[in-house]
Amino acid sequence: MTYLNHITEAIGNTPLVKLNKVTEGIKGTVLAKVEYANPGNSVKDRMAIKMVEDAEKAGLLKPGGTIIEGTSGNTGMGLALAAIAKGYKCIFTLADKQSKEKIDVLRAMGAEVVVCPTNVAPDHPDSYYSVAKRLNEEIPNSFYPNQYDNTSNTAAHYETTGPEIWDQTNGTITHWAAGVGTGGTISGTSKYLKEQNSNIVTVGIDTYGSVFKKYKETGEFDENEIYAYATEGIGEDILPKNVNFDTIDTFIKVTDKDGAVMTRRLAREEGLFVGWSSGSAVYGALEYAKEHLKEGDVMVVLLPDHGTRYLGKIYNDEWMRQQGYID
Ligand code: PMP
């Protein structure tokens, strides 16, 4: 018999798939790391299980405990899976710009969800960061993983995503591209890959309205860079500890519209039914590839999550028209 003892054992070992159509005119090969193949349908399963297991080892999470996190949804799903596997309760705080589907999914997995306003500063008492921190102080035997600053996040990618990509490309990878939110995915994977071959170039995908690109280029945290944007999961108005700027060579900013339109192209032209930040990552990676990729180069771009969570937005023509993203 071949079976897993729990669905969480199916996390990782996701497929690497060649992009064939959207890469027209690009020299070299562009491969997509398809993270919706994780059981929680996103890349965040990897770090969620690692944060929980590391917290257990450190004695921060004890039997009967409650996991409390501020999450855009995907980390919540990963934490909910880990909590089910190990018998914990979950409370998640989310910003109200997040897709309704993401909130419904967390509730379906037995978690309690607290919806908070999007357009308040991170240190405002109503922000989803502050509410998570407060609940953690109020609820006994609770654990606040804090995915932004918890280095188990980066470590999960150093231990799994990096080695998988190195093995799947037989060590031929020349460029690594991923969107940057907490920074765990890009930084942990990049650290592993650059240890194998220091010539590998890492391209971070940022959004307009986020601080990362300017910070990398000038070392300045420029509040003028911060404004509301719609893409979910990437870009930040803070500098999380998991963004290791030394492991990221350059940043490319992608607009909400360019990311959204590319997301739909990935579904229709490549058969990859992915989320918004996947479109952003591919759009940004290809912008870089157009200028810099040579024959024989191998670029890997990570697609973080699945399209079901965006049916009411990206995959809804009416919504796309209202935003002015399509005619
Ligand atoms: N895309 C989506 C949809 C996400 O939920 C996240 C996590 N915030 C990311 C991209 C970015 O990944 P990371 O937090 O590892 O930088």
- 229-274 confidence digits (pLDDT tens): 999 999 999 999 999 999 999 999 999 999 999 999 999 999 999 9
Structural domains of the chain in order of their starting residue, each with its CATH number: 7-42+152-322 (3.40.50.1100), 44-143 (3.40.50.1100)
pLDDT attached to residue 73: 83
CA of 303 to the centre of ligand 1 (A): 9
Q: What is the mean pLDDT of residues 304-326?
A: 96
How do strand 29-34 and strand 16-18 relate by DSSP bridges?
antiparallel
- State the Cα–Cα distance between residues 29 and 21, nearest whole angstrom: 12
Question: What amino acid occupies position 82?
Answer: A
* Residue nearest atom 6 in ligand 1 by C-alpha distance: 233
C-alpha–C-alpha distance, residues 48 and 38, integer Å: 12
Residue 303: pLDDT band (50, 70, 90) is very high
Answer yes or no: is pLDDT of 99 > 90. Answer: no
pLDDT range class, residue 101, cuts 50, 70, 90: confident
Q: Which residues contact 59 (CB under 8 A, 6 or more apart)?
A: none
**How far apart are alpha carbons 161 and 203 in whole angstroms?**
16
Q: Is 179 in the pocket of ligand 1 (CB under 6 A)?
A: yes
Residue with tokens 């502050």: 130
Percent of the chain with pLDDT over 70: 100
User: Which residue of the set 44, 50, 191, 313 is catalytic?
Assistant: 44
User: Of the given ranges (73-77, 88-92, 249-253), which has the lowest mean pLDDT?
Assistant: 73-77
CA atoms within 13 A on the CB side of 67: 31
Residue among 77, 185, 237 to mutate when testing ligand 1 (max atoms within 8 A of CB): 185
Torsion angle, alpha carbons of 301, 251, 208, 32, to 10:
0
Average pLDDT, the chain: 96
pLDDT band at 304 (very low <50, low <70, confident <90, very high): very high
CA 313 to chain centre: 18
What is the rounded average pLDDT of the residues 213-219? Answer: 98
> What is residue 102's predicted lDDT score, i.e. its pLDDT?
80
